[in-house]
Amino acid sequence: MDAPDPRRVELFVRSLSPQSGRSPGTTQLHRLRRLADEGVVDLSVSVWGREVGLSTTAARTDAGEFVLDRVAAFREWADEHDVCVEAFFETREVDSGLTGESYTALVLPAACLAEYRDGGLVYVAPYTTDTAVHTVADRVSALEASGEDAAPDERPADAPSLQVAGH
């Protein structure tokens, strides 16, 4: 019998610079690379900025469209699973010190994890429920513990946590 394909995991982080070595994204990246080496996950890593300007030309670039498409999929997943990702993808007005103009921006988390199975999105972290915050670190721990801890169509488990996560 063939082994099942590993889960495909996308990790989005704000930076991979040496100064961010202790950031949530970099910490989880090391753990996820170990899982990839063990064949538990198929890992891809994307670096994203602090924000995407929604009312500027940045949103119309390939990179901007990629981020906005992913965030739209994350929001749809959250709606389907009765959880919330909005606290981690805040929209706000930003004043540009360079141009003196204001623009609307989508602020991105420092780290974000998207997990896919059979081509479908099955998990996003971070997210919140009415009672808890579920972080990238929580999901990486679950993957480390079992590699197959939840069926793709299950509602995410409600376990408290504290870390926040980010392309």
pLDDT, mean of residues 37-60: 85
Burial class (CB in 10 A: 0-12, 13-18, 19+), 62: exposed
User: b/e string for 124-162 if b means 16 or more Cβ within 10 A?
Assistant: bbbbbbeebbbbbbbbbbbbeeeeeebeeeeebeeeebe
Q: What CA–CA distance (Å, rounded) separates 142 from 99? A: 45
Q: pLDDT (tens digit, 9 = 90+) per residue, 98-137?
A: 777 888 999 999 999 999 999 899 999 999 999 999 999 9
pLDDT, mean of residues 141-159: 59
pLDDT of 150 strictly over 60: no
pLDDT, mean of residues 9-29: 75
Higher pLDDT, 49 or 3: 49
Per-residue pLDDT at 15: 75
- DSSP H helices, the chain, are 24-37, 62-80, 136-146
Which residue do the tokens 């995410």 mark?
156
Higher pLDDT, 63 or 73: 73
Q: What share of the chain is helix, strand, coil (3-state, %, to 5)?
A: 30, 30, 40
Q: Is the peptide bond before 126 cis (omega within 30 degrees of 0)?
A: yes
Q: pLDDT (tens digit, 9 = 90+) per residue, 76-96?
A: 999 999 999 999 999 999 887
pLDDT, mean of residues 1-24: 71
